[in-house]
Amino acid sequence: MHITHPTAPGLVDPAFKAKAGRYVAQTGLATMSLLILLLLGDALSNAAIVTAIAASAFLIFIGPNARLAQPKRVIGGHLLGCCIGLVFALLLHLVPDSISQSFLATNSLAALAVGIGILAMGATDTEHPPAAGTILGLVLGDRELEIALLLLLSIGLLHATRTLLRRWLVDLL
């Protein structure tokens, strides 16, 4: 009689099985980093910004040597995202209330901002997909400048953690 393993074949990645301790340690670092950043202030309550930071933490701690986790892309992408998001948020504040309060106009401007951000990141070789969330969060959120500064501080802290622990971090992808 042959007894099968209780998990479905292929459900658990063999790489995970081989590096389970690393996965636990590095995802623990990501979790602790996010907890600290979330406790820093209420400015991170903007869902798009929190999502952008969480996605960056994922890339940094699961694939620290991956192209999208490189400092040029993480910092550069979010910096570009902040600049573009703030410009479009300002544009939204400068238009008459009848336009800025229009669902179609606001969402069209937000989509245009993300599109321009993607183009700018591609042109400057600073592609970082979570930075699209940065743009969206700044255009659609409140307290844009405060959020942008806190986001850049958060990304800086994630990068500093990555740099300090670089020799112990391995790619888990």
pLDDT along the chain (173 residues), means of 10: 55 82 90 79 68 94 94 96 95 84 86 95 96 92 85 92 92 87
Q: What is the pLDDT of residue 9?
A: 63
Instruction: Determine, yes or no, domain membership for 16.
Output: no
Cα–Cα distance measured from residue 89 to residue 136, given in angstroms and rounded to the nearest whole number: 10
Q: What is the pLDDT of residue 156?
A: 93
Q: What is the pLDDT of residue 45?
A: 60
Q: What is the pLDDT of residue 169?
A: 93
Q: What is the pLDDT of residue 44?
A: 53
Cα–Cα distance measured from residue 94 to residue 160, given in angstroms and rounded to the nearest whole number: 37
Instruction: Determine, yes or no, domain membership for 18.
Output: no
Q: What is the pLDDT of residue 41?
A: 60
Q: Which of 162, 140, 163 shows the shortest CA–CA distance to 26?
A: 162
Instruction: Determine, yes or no, domain membership for 150.
Output: yes
Instruction: Determine, yes or no, domain membership for 10.
Output: no
pTM of the model: 0.82
Instruction: Determine, yes or no, domain membership for 105.
Output: yes
Instruction: Determine, yes or no, domain membership for 62.
Output: yes
Q: Which domain holds residue 109?
A: 46-165
Cα–Cα distance measured from residue 98 to residue 93, given in angstroms and rounded to the nearest whole number: 11
Q: What is the pLDDT of residue 57?
A: 94
* Number of domains into which the chain is organized: 1
Instruction: Determine, yes or no, domain membership for 77.
Output: yes
